Structure 1
C-alpha cells in the first residue's frame, strides 16, 4: 500500500533533532512528514540546557521567545567547583559577543513542545508510527520509508529522508553507516528537586572522589541534580535504600547540603540511565541525512548533544535552501530532485562532520576531566581544570567552543599548557569576541 500524499521530506523521530529538522525544512516551504513511534512526547531528564549557538537558531525561529515566555531560566556561567563550592574553572558566557551571553534552561518536554508549536502548515506530524525500513531504488539511493501504523503498513516516498531516530538509529544501520560508540564506565541518577532551601545560580559541576555531582536551576524554583554512580552500585536497591544512597551522595558535598531536606520528596522523579558517546562515520548517504543522536551523542555534562542537533538541522536546511532558489509553494510539485538533494547532502557532511568531530573532542575532554575516577584520570583531570581556569586565553577558547560558536581547536601546545606542562606566555591574550 502506498501513500499518495506528496512530501518533499520525511523525518523519522520527533525528538529535538527531528522537530528542528522539520521546522527548518518547513521554513523553506517544503512539505514535510514527521513520524515518531511514541504516541506522545516523553518527559525525560535530558536536553534541558541550550547553548548560545543553538539559541541563535531558535531566536530566528521564534522558539527562544516561546521558551522565555514559558519561564525558561537564563544562566550566565558553566562552573566546575570543589565539593565546598569554590570555583575551579568558570566559563563566563558574559564575555561572549552580544546576543550570545546566556545559557537557557528548561524542561526537555517544554523544549519539545515549543519546537512543535512553531511548526507551520507545511509540516504534518504522525505519532504512533513505526518505521520499518528505508525504501531504495536500483542504485541503492533512499527514496522513502515503509511505515506501519495501527498494524497497517504503507510506503511513503520523498526526495529527502532525515534520520533523527536516536543513537541506535535503524535507518543509519540500514544504509550501512558505521560509527564509534563508547559506553562510559558509570551511570547517572537524575532527580527533579522541587522547593529546595537552596538553588544553584549557574550550571555547576561539583568534583568529588565518588564522581560528578551536577546541579542547575529549572523553572518553578526546581533544581535538576545528576549523581554519578558506578554501573553496579545501585543494583538491587529498593526505594528506601536508594533514598539513603542519594542523601549520602549529596551529603558528601557541603555546597549541596541545602538540597538534602528535599531529596526524599524527589525520589519518585528519579531516572537512572547509562551514558554513551557516539560519533557517526558519515552524516549522509544518497537520499538520507543523519541529525541528532543518530549522528552524534555526548555526555550530559557537556550540554552539547541537543544543541548540535538543532544547529545540524539548521545547517542541513541551509544547504538545501541554497540550491532551491525561489521558495517553492507548499503543497505544489516538488522543487527537490535527486541531484539537488544529494549535492546538498554532500555539502552538509563536508561542513558539519569536522564541526562534530571537534565538538566531540571538546565534550569528551570536559566530561573526562570531571568523571574519570581512576588515579591518573583524577590527577590529570583536576590539573586540567585548575590550569584552564587560571588561563584567561584558554578559558575563553573553551567557553567559545562549549557555547557552540566555534570551532576554535586547541593546538597540541595549548593542551600541554592546559595541563600545566608548559608555561603560557600568551595566557593574558584573550581574543576579542
Structure 2
C-alpha cells in the first residue's frame, strides 16, 4: 500500500492457484476433482510418480466403499468407469469366534434388502480406483498435477499460503490442504500436534482366490487377537484384513506363501473351499492417530492427515472422502457468497462439521476393538448377547445397516 500524497493504492494479490493440495493419494485426487467443480484452480503436489501410481497390476489392495462414497464418485464422474470392476456388498455377517472353532452361533446378519438405496457398498480394487481418479484429474483443465515433488517449507499470512517445493519453486495459494497422511509434515509445520496410541496389533492384508463363490457377502469374524475381515472382490476372490498381535503378525508376514496360508486357514474356515494367495501381502501397524485440530491459518486437513482409525469397520477411506465432500462444499459455498475461501471463519465451518463425526468414529472403532479383542468369558458372553439383541430388533438392525452404508449423519451434498 502506498499512501504518498494522500493516495491509497493496494497492490494486487497474486496467486498461482486457488487451492494447493499436498498429497496425491486417493483423498488428494478426489478433493482436486471436487473443488475444481466450484470452479476453482487446483494444484496437487504429489511425491509419487505418475507411472507408479497408474501401474495396472493387481497388488491385492482394495477398499470397502460405502453407498454414500459411491455417490461422491458418481458426482465426480469416475464411478461409471469403476462400476464394471466393482463388487457389490449385498450382505454383512458378523460373528464371534476362536481360532479353529469357526464362528459362534450368535451374531449379526445385515442385508441390503432391508434398505431402499441398494447395496450397502462396493469393494473397489486400488488398481482400478487410482487410475480412474488420475485420468479424471488429467482431463480437468483447472487442475495442475505436479508429480515427483515434495514440499520443503511453508508459510502463511492473512492473505494466503506459500509452499516451497524441493525443486525450489514457490506456489502461492489462497488455501493449502494437507492430504499427506498420518505423518503429515504439512500439519506438523503448521504446529498441529496429534493424539493417539498404538494398539499393539498389526494388520496382515492380502487377497485370496477361493474355490466357491462368495455371493457378495462380507464377513467380520472377531478373534481374541483382533478382527478378521473377509471382503468380496469381483470373481472368486476376496480381500483379507487379518489382525494379530504385532509380534506374531511380523512372524506370519515373513513366512513363505504356503506356510502363510497354513496359518490363515484355521482362522478363515473352509466355507469358500480351497484357498490360494492372489497378489502381494502387506503388514500395517495399527494405531489411533487424531490431529489436535483440523485447520490452521490458511490450512485444512483431510483424510489420514486429520484422522487415522482402526480398520475394524473399514471406514478409513470413507471418512476421508467425507472430509473431501465437506471441504469442497464449504469452499464452494464461500466462493458463491464472495467470501475468501481460506479465511478463518470459512475453515472453522469445515472443522465444526467434521470434528464430531470423526471423534464418534474414532471412539466407536476404539471401543469395539477393545471389547472384541479379548477372550475374557464375561465380556465374550456380554458382546454375544448384545449382538443377538441388535439382530432381533428390526429397527435397530436397519439403523446399523444404514450406518454401514454411510447414509447417516449430516451428509455433504456430493454424497446425497
CA gap of 1:142–1:278, structure 2 versus 1, over 3 A, is: farther
Q: TM-score, normalised by structure 2?
A: 0.83
Aligned to 1:164: 179
Matches within 5 A, 1:74-85: 74-82=88-96, 83-84=102-103
CA gap of 1:303–1:116, structure 2 versus 1, over 3 A, is: same
Q: Equivalents in 1 of 2:346, 2:46: separation in Å?
A: 25
Would the aligned equivalents of 1:179 and 1:280 in 2 still touch at CA under 8 Å?
yes
Q: Equivalents in 1 of 2:146, 2:376: separation in Å?
A: 47
Q: TM-score, normalised by structure 1?
A: 0.80
Q: Alignment partner for residue 386 of structure 2, among 362, 384, 387?
A: 384
Q: Secondary structure of the equivalent of 2:17?
A: coil
Residue by residue over 1:13-68, the C-alpha shift from the partner in whole angstroms, topping out at 9 and shown as x without a partner, is 11121111101111112111101111132876656111012122222222222210
Residue by residue over 1:360-387, the C-alpha shift from the partner in whole angstroms, topping out at 9 and shown as x without a partner, is 2333344445434556654444343333
CA gap of 1:166–1:135, structure 2 versus 1, over 3 A, is: same
Q: Equivalents in 2 of 1:256, 1:144: separation in Å?
A: 56
CA gap of 1:373–1:64, structure 2 versus 1, over 3 A, is: farther
Q: Equivalents in 2 of 1:376, 1:294: separation in Å?
A: 37
Unmatched tracts of structure 2, length 5 or more: 1-13, 97-101, 411-416
Q: Alignment partner for residue 72 of structure 1, among 78, 83, 86?
A: 86
Matches within 5 A, 1:250-329: 250-256=265-271, 258=273, 261-263=274-276, 265-266=277-278, 269-325=280-336
State the Cα distance separating 1:226 from its structure 2 match: 2.3
Q: Equivalents in 2 of 1:237, 1:103: separation in Å?
A: 30
Residue by residue over 1:347-404, the C-alpha shift from the partner in whole angstroms, topping out at 9 and shown as x without a partner, is 1111111121222233334444543455665444434333323333332223323322
CA gap of 1:78–1:257, structure 2 versus 1, over 3 A, is: closer
Q: Equivalents in 1 of 2:251, 2:220: separation in Å?
A: 28
Q: Alignment partner for residue 153 of structure 1, among 168, 177, 198?
A: 168
State the Cα distance separating 1:240 from its structure 2 match: 4.9
Matches within 5 A, 1:164-183: 164-183=179-198
Q: Equivalents in 2 of 1:344, 1:127: separation in Å?
A: 29
Aligned to 2:29: 19
Q: Secondary structure of the equivalent of 1:183?
A: strand
Unmatched tracts of structure 1, length 5 or more: 327-334, 409-433
State the Cα distance separating 1:255 from its structure 2 match: 4.5
Q: Equivalents in 1 of 2:44, 2:174: separation in Å?
A: 14
Residue by residue over 1:272-325, the C-alpha shift from the partner in whole angstroms, topping out at 9 and shown as x without a partner, is 121122222221112101000011122222121111211211111111111212
Structure having the larger proportion of residues in strand: 2
Q: Secondary structure of the equivalent of 1:48?
A: strand
CA gap of 1:108–1:374, structure 2 versus 1, over 3 A, is: farther
CA gap of 1:336–1:22, structure 2 versus 1, over 3 A, is: farther
Q: Equivalents in 2 of 1:92, 1:8: separation in Å?
A: 44
Q: Equivalents in 2 of 1:262, 1:181: separation in Å?
A: 36
CA gap of 1:106–1:183, structure 2 versus 1, over 3 A, is: same
Q: Equivalents in 2 of 1:128, 1:378: separation in Å?
A: 49
Would the aligned equivalents of 1:302 and 1:366 in 2 still touch at CA under 8 Å?
no
CA gap of 1:240–1:44, structure 2 versus 1, over 3 A, is: closer
Which has the larger displacement, 23-32 or 206-215? 206-215
Would the aligned equivalents of 1:46 and 1:300 in 2 still touch at CA under 8 Å?
no
Q: Secondary structure of the equivalent of 2:283?
A: strand
Q: Equivalents in 2 of 1:252, 1:10: separation in Å?
A: 45
Aligned to 1:431: none
Q: Equivalents in 1 of 2:22, 2:293: separation in Å?
A: 18
Q: Equivalents in 2 of 1:375, 1:86: separation in Å?
A: 16
Would the aligned equivalents of 1:362 and 1:402 in 2 still touch at CA under 8 Å?
no
State the Cα distance separating 1:174 from its structure 2 match: 1.4
Q: Secondary structure of the equivalent of 2:275?
A: helix
Residue by residue over 1:44-99, the C-alpha shift from the partner in whole angstroms, topping out at 9 and shown as x without a partner, is 66561110121222222222222103x1111122220352485711233332343x
CA gap of 1:10–1:190, structure 2 versus 1, over 3 A, is: same
Q: Secondary structure of the equivalent of 1:232?
A: helix
Q: Secondary structure of the equivalent of 2:345?
A: helix
Residue by residue over 1:155-205, the C-alpha shift from the partner in whole angstroms, topping out at 9 and shown as x without a partner, is 111001010000111111111222322222211212211354443531211
